[in-house]
Structure 1
Amino acid sequence: MKSPRTVAIAGLAALAMVGSLAACSAGASSDSGKTELRVATFPPGADEAAYTAFAEQEKQFEKEHEDIDIIGVEYEWEGPTFAVQLAGGSLPDVFTVPFTDSKTLLENGQLMDVTDEMDELGYTDKFNPIILDAVTDGDRIYGFPRQAYAMGLHYNRTLFEEAGLDPDNPPTTWDEVREAAKTISEKTGKAGFMEMTQNNTGGWQLTAASVARGGSIQEDNGDGTYTSTIANDGTKSALEFLHDLRWEDNSLGSNMLLDWGTINQEFAAGNIGMYSSGSDVYTALVRDFSLNPDDYGLTVVPVENGGGTLGGGDIAVVSPTVDDETKAAAVTWIDWYYMQKLLNEDAAVLDAKTLSESDQAVGTPVLPVLDRETYEQSLTWIEPYINVPRDQMTPFIEGVWDQTPVGEPKSKTQEIYALLDTVVQAVLTDQNADIDALLAKADVDAQALLDQ
């Protein structure tokens, strides 16, 4: 067993290392005769307690599977650098990818077929079929959906109180979000609301905001082709909302180049009143960014005009370059580390107990990758170990089931998100930006991508 801190993946691996790293991906046996398995752990910067918990889980796994030697690898998915890591062979044997990348990776033959292994484990039919579709090509399955989320509105309860707002009654409409953001900014000097804008996250959030307002940025024609529909009323309304917060209310802060990591850092530091992101981000906020749990609140994203809540998640996958021995070890690890805690009471309790003893988050709200009944049953199993402030997340926990889940666009997703980054940035840096013209051009450019 090797500490996950001993093996770190950089965003761009040195070219001289590519050959050796690729060789690792092909699978290897240690001098002891065990199969060495390189598995993704946490993003760089995760707190020591997270690694303590992981080390304990390594011990538990290796005690049950004495022929496998787990090697933890620091790992963080980022759209612009992921393709380089994948092409260079510098990814672990087991890693995770967002739903949005799975179809492209399938088309490129960059995921390992695990259909037979999943069938043998016996829970293929328990997956939410909409979620399983993200890793299915024909009748073959290429990964294990391990967690899903719905978009949520995250807010700082302390800033709400300082601004004279009730943290137990967060905004329920976009107009109320705007009003609260302005009040927070005026009363506290902090950003009332902030928006991601770069590394594909600006496009991701603009898509979510459009969906919440009844829009859709892409239409599936049902024949393998897609039509870009970016220039719709929902997307325009979302951009007008950001424009007004930035240029009329001055409530959007001063940093217009934020992504998932940097906006989490700012929020955890108490510099943001509200922002939109996946409902599961609380775990990372505490683990990686030292959030004070007392500050945290979560509610549903407001929806209007027949809109829904954008959902997503990620999938545990096996590198396509590994040999059969390593593949078998990889599936064993995925089943033990990711899946059994969703299906088996003893595994769920062991996982929750191990995490809670290292002060890691247990009970963060997610969307179930399996059926809702199984998910809610698993919460009863781990109830004694739940340590997240779910009472501060009540508006989301109770409200999300009343919203319509909407999947992310299926084709050229990350490329289109990157394209939309520039649209969001233009609106936030140019007071006179022509939103209609920006959307019209984005539609043309996105269609060109879809037609490739």
Structure 2
Amino acid sequence: MKIFTTTLGVALLATAANVSGAFAATDLHMIMCGDDTTPGIAVQQTLIDEWTAANPDYAVDIEFVPWGQCQEKSMTLAAAGNPASLAYLGSRTLKQLAKNDLIIPVSLTDEEAESYAAPILGTVTWEGQQWGMPRAFSSKALWYNKGLFAAAGLDPETPPTTWDELLAAAKAITENTDAAGYGMAGASFDNTMHQFMTVMYSNGGEVINADGEIVFGSDNNVEALAFVEALVPYSEPGPIAYDRGKLEILFGEEKVGMLIDGHWLKGRISEDLDAGVVPFPAGPMGKSSSLLITDSLAVFKDSGVEDAALSLAKYLTSPEHQMAFDIAEGYTPIRTGPEVDALIDADATWAPFINVIPDGGPEPFVTDYVAMQDVLNEALQGVILGEVDAAEAVEYAAEELEAVK
């Protein structure tokens, strides 16, 4: 009988078995999207070593695959009947994997489920079941350049809290400085859609509701897309050429005054740049919100080691272990607790990203994520280029999205 422990004390019981070498351990094939150079990977490896010490029947074989090929490889192996045991991948893929019967539900206990904020758990939930263990998490907020605010005649200690104030600030910066007021993502890339979803959620909009119905064609979303349209004259020239990474460079060079981004931006700009960060302003029909994105550990079906793979996934994502991984990687912590309070006390820039979680919205759970991305980006680009108005773009997108749910 195999015993899957989650306590370090029991790990010592495995020592004798490891030394004896009397059996060959069964491999758990774990696919990791990304590479092995980030600080959190060392933390993860320590935890894996602890788990295998307590479960000597198993050896964890980690394969690092670049993000561009990782999710496709995981799906291809599973569809071919040779699945990995578990994989770290974007939660956006879970519904497609579940509908194709390629992964198993993770069967969270009440205590485990209650340790997550509901919107975070929503990123892995479909038809009342969870299909992955949240492993990495990000939220968004509004970064702004205090120096450009002052140069434009704005109070740098009074950042915008409404869309009207944000639009007025973008206009003032554009007209009174050499910078554009707002950094707008418009390229054919996922973070273009992500930036818009923070705007959308802050106006009470959705793409798909909890019942799996496409609800994109709402007045909330028409208003959100019209707000994007209103910002175009005060954004960098040619927004459809810019993704988030290019906008981060412009912000660091003080060529744009504001942008939506994650906490990681702090580490990508000079410490000499006087930047502030606040919750993204509330729209007329909503309240301040953010898109919430998770990556997850998914357990594949028919690997023959599903129980062991789920045990490992739960061990890695238990509250104390997950927090160590989050801090090492610089991710927004998935759970709350004293460590998170201490994080905010030490660095107040974390507050907008953590406090928004209860009011945030999940990355939409659809069966064809890339198709959804293409539909929404096409609607955004049409409005940015002035080829279609907001109402027409939302109506068309809502119809197209029916095919991807």
Secondary structure in 2 matching 1:194: coil
**Following TM superposition, by how much is the alpha carbon of 1:134 offset from its aligned partner in structure 2, in angstroms?**
4.5
Letter of the 2:277 counterpart = L
The residue that corresponds to 1:419 in the other structure is: 375
Question: Mapping of 1:57-72 within 5 angstroms?
Answer: 57-59=44-46, 61-62=48-49, 65-66=52-53, 67=56, 68-69=59-60, 71=62
Cα RMSD after superposing both structures: 4.1
State whether residues 217 and 409 of structure 1, in contact with CA within 8 Å, keep that contact through their aligned partners in structure 2. Answer: yes
The residue that corresponds to 1:379 in the other structure is: 340
Question: Following the alignment from structure 1 to structure 2, what is the Cα–Cα distance between the partners of residues 104 and 72?
Answer: 22
CA pair 396-286 structure 1, distance change in 2 beyond 3 A: closer
CA pair 301-35 structure 1, distance change in 2 beyond 3 A: same
Asked if 1:254 is matched to 2:238, the reply is yes
Q: How many residues align?
A: 371
State whether residues 202 and 281 of structure 2, in contact with CA within 8 Å, keep that contact through their aligned partners in structure 1. Answer: yes
Question: Following the alignment from structure 2 to structure 1, what is the Cα–Cα distance between the partners of residues 65 and 302?
Answer: 19
Question: Following the alignment from structure 2 to structure 1, what is the Cα–Cα distance between the partners of residues 129 and 208?
Answer: 25
**Following TM superposition, by how much is the alpha carbon of 1:422 offset from its aligned partner in structure 2, in angstroms?**
0.8
Question: Following the alignment from structure 1 to structure 2, what is the Cα–Cα distance between the partners of residues 92 and 169?
Answer: 51
Map Cα deviations across residues 52-83 of structure 1 (whole Å, 9 max, x no partner): x533652464256345345362543x7xx776
Map Cα deviations across residues 193-236 of structure 1 (whole Å, 9 max, x no partner): 1222323443443343233224344456x5x6x24442x33323
Question: Following the alignment from structure 1 to structure 2, what is the Cα–Cα distance between the partners of residues 218 and 236?
Answer: 15
Question: Following the alignment from structure 1 to structure 2, what is the Cα–Cα distance between the partners of residues 104 and 130?
Answer: 20
Secondary structure in 1 matching 2:185: coil
Letter of the 2:49 counterpart = E
The residue that corresponds to 2:318 in the other structure is: 339
State whether residues 40 and 92 of structure 1, in contact with CA within 8 Å, keep that contact through their aligned partners in structure 2. Answer: no
State whether residues 153 and 298 of structure 1, in contact with CA within 8 Å, keep that contact through their aligned partners in structure 2. Answer: yes
Secondary structure in 1 matching 2:105: coil
Asked if 1:155 is matched to 2:116, the reply is no
Give the gaps of 5 or more residues in structure 2: 1-22
Secondary structure in 1 matching 2:388: coil
Letter of the 1:144 counterpart = M
CA pair 107-57 structure 1, distance change in 2 beyond 3 A: closer
Question: Mapping of 1:64-103 within 5 angstroms?
Answer: 65-66=52-53, 67=56, 68-69=59-60, 71=62, 73-76=64-67, 84-89=72-77, 94-103=86-95
State whether residues 326 and 333 of structure 2, in contact with CA within 8 Å, keep that contact through their aligned partners in structure 1. Answer: no
Question: Following the alignment from structure 2 to structure 1, what is the Cα–Cα distance between the partners of residues 147 and 24?
Answer: 54
Question: Following the alignment from structure 1 to structure 2, what is the Cα–Cα distance between the partners of residues 170 and 389?
Answer: 22
The residue that corresponds to 2:399 in the other structure is: 444
CA pair 329-148 structure 1, distance change in 2 beyond 3 A: same
Asked if 1:244 is matched to 2:230, the reply is yes
CA pair 87-56 structure 1, distance change in 2 beyond 3 A: closer
Question: Following the alignment from structure 1 to structure 2, what is the Cα–Cα distance between the partners of residues 294 and 337?
Answer: 37
Map Cα deviations across residues 323-375 of structure 1 (whole Å, 9 max, x no partner): 334x4554454334433426xxxx85x6588x3xxxx63xx65564xxxxxx1
Map Cα deviations across residues 365-420 of structure 1 (whole Å, 9 max, x no partner): 5564xxxxxx133325xx3xx4997324556666x37x744445444573333202
Question: Following the alignment from structure 2 to structure 1, what is the Cα–Cα distance between the partners of residues 43 and 119?
Answer: 34
The residue that corresponds to 1:143 in the other structure is: 132
Question: Following the alignment from structure 1 to structure 2, what is the Cα–Cα distance between the partners of residues 303 and 40?
Answer: 37
Question: Following the alignment from structure 1 to structure 2, what is the Cα–Cα distance between the partners of residues 439 and 238?
Answer: 10
Question: Following the alignment from structure 1 to structure 2, what is the Cα–Cα distance between the partners of residues 246 and 138?
Answer: 39
Letter of the 1:427 counterpart = V
The residue that corresponds to 1:213 in the other structure is: 203
Map Cα deviations across residues 164-197 of structure 1 (whole Å, 9 max, x no partner): 5444432111122122223333455333212223
CA pair 441-333 structure 1, distance change in 2 beyond 3 A: same
The residue that corresponds to 2:17 in the other structure is: none
Q: 1:40 aligns with which of 27, 32, 35?
A: 32
Question: Following the alignment from structure 1 to structure 2, what is the Cα–Cα distance between the partners of residues 339 and 310?
Answer: 25
Secondary structure in 1 matching 2:401: helix
The residue that corresponds to 1:28 in the other structure is: none
**Following TM superposition, by how much is the alpha carbon of 1:426 offset from its aligned partner in structure 2, in angstroms?**
1.6
The residue that corresponds to 2:297 in the other structure is: 317
CA pair 286-163 structure 1, distance change in 2 beyond 3 A: same
Secondary structure in 1 matching 2:143: strand
Q: 2:348 aligns with which of 372, 378, 391?
A: 391
Question: Following the alignment from structure 2 to structure 1, what is the Cα–Cα distance between the partners of residues 179 and 84?
Answer: 40
State whether residues 135 and 143 of structure 1, in contact with CA within 8 Å, keep that contact through their aligned partners in structure 2. Answer: yes
Letter of the 2:181 counterpart = G
Secondary structure in 2 matching 1:109: coil
Letter of the 1:377 counterpart = P
CA pair 129-394 structure 1, distance change in 2 beyond 3 A: closer
**Following TM superposition, by how much is the alpha carbon of 1:445 offset from its aligned partner in structure 2, in angstroms?**
2.3
Letter of the 2:393 counterpart = L
**Following TM superposition, by how much is the alpha carbon of 1:320 offset from its aligned partner in structure 2, in angstroms?**
1.8
CA pair 389-89 structure 1, distance change in 2 beyond 3 A: farther
CA pair 306-242 structure 1, distance change in 2 beyond 3 A: closer
Letter of the 1:102 counterpart = L
**Following TM superposition, by how much is the alpha carbon of 1:299 offset from its aligned partner in structure 2, in angstroms?**
1.1
Q: TM-score, normalised by structure 1?
A: 0.66
Question: Following the alignment from structure 1 to structure 2, what is the Cα–Cα distance between the partners of residues 389 and 273?
Answer: 26
Map Cα deviations across residues 88-128 of structure 1 (whole Å, 9 max, x no partner): 3399754444444432332122323332xx55x96345344
| Overall identity of the aligned pairs, in % | 20
Secondary structure in 2 matching 1:170: coil
Question: Following the alignment from structure 1 to structure 2, what is the Cα–Cα distance between the partners of residues 69 and 171?
Answer: 49
Secondary structure in 2 matching 1:65: helix
